[in-house]
Amino acid sequence: MLTWIDNVVIVLAVAGVLAVGYYFSKSITDMESYYLANRSLPWSLVVGTLMASWYGGVGVIGTVGYASVFGLAAWFIWSIGAHAVRFPLALWVGPKIHIRTDVTIPDVMQKTYGKFAAVMASVLLFVYCAQIGEITATGFVGEAAWGIDKMVIGIIVVVITIALTCLGGLMGVAVTDMIFFLFMVVSVSLVFPQLFQSVGGLEGIRAATAANPAYMHPVAGMAPTKALMLVILCINVYADPTFYQRFSASNSVKTGRRAMLTCFCLWMGFDIVTILAGVVVHIARPGVQPELAYIQMVLEHLPVGVRALFIIGLLGAIISTLDSYYLIGGTTLAKDLYGRIFAGDSVSDKRLVNLSRVGSCILGLIGVVFAYHFKLVYDAIAFMSSLWMSTVFVAVLTALMYKGKKTPMAGILSMITGCAAFAYLQYHPITISESIGTLEPLLVALPLSLLAYLAGNMIGSDINEGSTKIQG
């Protein structure tokens, strides 16, 4: 539990980041400045905001939880795969995205598949941006640090997130992400040596897990169906809206590429810390909720005042991810739904910015209502990512990367089929066997989405041939 000194430090930190958001609110004049920071982000801010946004509470607390349950398989199957697939993003995809005139993913969808497909993608994107897994993580922080109800801490974090998003736009989000990024890395890394030595280091870990060799095996600790789902989810980043926004907002192609490559090194190193922390929790607190046990163990090892920095790092990681997606989701509601359906090009930038802020509030409400239905943090994020990937991934990736014929029916059938298959298997799970596990909906929905795309591509003609080809 935190003391009053820790709480004062936390309150001062929150006031500080809100002041930063307020400062940058003065520079917001239109959607370009609100959503893309006038395409002026330098290397340092791109690194900080990518690192913080793609890590978040899921990357810290969720990784600890998965490592505690599945052992080293969490590292070899998820961490290595998730980061390795980002090399092509940095080297080839990102530079081409930077020069596109499309502002959002639904913009790309409309140019390729028409208005109806764009509206469908907008609805799914808005839901995806709720990022309920991050709010799930707040419940463990609140219980361990203050002993308060998870709904209370969830509401507090969402309110702070909405305030930061609405005040400063992308520039405010990027600067506060950088601050939270530093708190997160420093605080989590600072306490790791103490936790590691508390179980006897590597020798203690080997001795404690000797009776369960699968736990320290690269892949044996995880059911094959879950492992395959996580491998496929690794490539979900190619349809992740925050990547396209950050790369488009960087001040040059070179800046975005260098930032991605820098983040790769940071992600891999930081994952070693969180994975091993999960192994320590597995040994020291068997049978206890791992995410909660991790935070409790850290607070026990830190002195007064420093514990506050750790909590700021965790909550900051959560907020830095949420504000990124709330910014995108709010813009999706304003520009891609309201603007596309009701107003067209006639809606003013001021109205779009205000509607984007309303969208952020709606996303916060969705997150608080649905976040605590999941036992593990990664279960929540896997659900949202699987839904998004099952429905939109094929259509988005082909729109951006495929240079051949692309018909409106292809995009529409792909999204409808993927969504229907995912929904059916999510609520009617199929257990293959005890050793293999339950059939993950993504493993069926994604191939069906691709098949539907291929079938739909034989119906009709390309509505805008060549207009969505990525420029070389």
**What's the chain look like in SS3?**
CCCHHHHHHHHHHHHHHHHHHHHHHCCCCCHHHHHHHHHCECHHHHHHHHHHHHHHHHHHHHHHHHHHHHCCHHHHHHHHHHHHCHHHHHHHHHHHHHCCCCCCHHHHHHHHHCHHHHHHHHHHHHHHCCCHHHHHHHHHHHHHHCCCCHHHHHHHHHHHHHHHHHHHHHHHHHHHHHHHHHHHHHHHHHHHHHHHHHCCHHHHHHHHHCCCHHHHCCCCCCCHHHHHHHHHHHHHHHHCHHHHHHHHHECCHHHHHHHHHHHHHHHHHHHHHHHHHHHHHHHHCCCCCHHHHHHHHHHHHCCCCHHHHHHHHHHHHHHHHHHHHHHHHHHHHHHHHHHHHHHHHHCCHHHHHHHHHHHHHHHHHHHHHHHHHCCCHHHHHHHHHHHHHHHHHHHHHHHHHCCCCCCHHHHHHHHHHHHHHHHHHHHCCCEEECCCEECCHHHHHHHHHHHHHHHHCCCCCCCCCCCCCCCC
Maximum Cα–Cα distance across the chain: 68
Asked if residue 319 lies in contact with residue 360, where contact means CB atoms within 8 angstroms, the answer is: no
Q: Which two tokens stand for residue 310?
A: 């750790």
Closest CA to 39 of 79, 86, 99: 99
For residue 25, with 0-12 CB atoms within 10 Å meaning exposed, 13-18 middle and 19 or more buried, which class applies?
middle
Q: Which two tokens stand for residue 408?
A: 């409106």
Q: If you count them, how many residues does the chain have?
A: 472
Asked if residue 71 lies in contact with residue 282, where contact means CB atoms within 8 angstroms, the answer is: yes
CA distance 297 to 6: 16
> Dihedral (C-alpha) 307, 309, 312, 318: value to the nearest 10 degrees?
-90
Q: How would you write the pLDDT of the chain (472 residues) with one tens digit per residue? A: 788 899 999 999 889 888 988 888 888 877 778 887 888 889 988 888 888 777 777 788 888 988 999 999 988 888 888 878 877 777 776 666 554 545 578 888 888 999 999 999 999 999 999 989 889 889 889 999 999 998 999 999 999 999 988 887 888 888 888 888 888 888 888 889 989 999 999 999 999 999 999 999 988 888 888 888 888 888 887 778 877 777 778 888 788 888 888 888 888 888 889 999 999 999 999 988 899 999 999 888 888 888 888 898 888 888 888 988 998 899 899 888 888 887 666 677 788 888 999 999 999 999 999 888 887 787 888 888 899 999 999 998 898 778 888 999 999 999 999 999 999 999 888 888 777 778 889 999 999 999 999 999 999 888 766 444 444 3
Asked if residue 171 lies in contact with residue 34, where contact means CB atoms within 8 angstroms, the answer is: no
Tell me, what amino acid is at 95?
P
Domain annotation for the chain: domains and CATH numbers:
4-224+241-376 (1.20.1730.10)
pLDDT in tens, 190-205: 889 989 999 999 999 9
Closest CA to 456 of 398, 412, 403, 404: 412
Amino acid 344: pLDDT: 63
C-alpha distances (whole Å) from 294 to each of 196, 212, 288, 358 are: 12, 21, 10, 35
For residue 327, with 0-12 CB atoms within 10 Å meaning exposed, 13-18 middle and 19 or more buried, which class applies?
buried
Amino acid 99: pLDDT: 46
Amino acid 346: pLDDT: 67
Q: Which two tokens stand for residue 281?
A: 């929790």
CA distance 49 to 189: 19
CA distance 424 to 432: 16
Q: Which two tokens stand for residue 142?
A: 């609140």
pTM for the full predicted model: 0.86
pLDDT in tens, 313-336: 888 888 888 988 998 899 899 888
> Dihedral (C-alpha) 83, 380, 190, 156: value to the nearest 10 degrees?
130
Q: Which two tokens stand for residue 345?
A: 């090009």
Amino acid 465: pLDDT: 62
Closest CA to 278 of 263, 268, 288: 288
Asked if residue 64 lies in contact with residue 281, where contact means CB atoms within 8 angstroms, the answer is: yes
Residue with tokens 């994107």, as numbered in its chain? 125
Q: How far apart are the first and last CA of the chain?
A: 55
Closest CA to 398 of 346, 450, 439: 450
Residues 6+ apart with CB under 8 A from 218: 72, 73, 75, 76, 77
Amino acid 215: pLDDT: 93
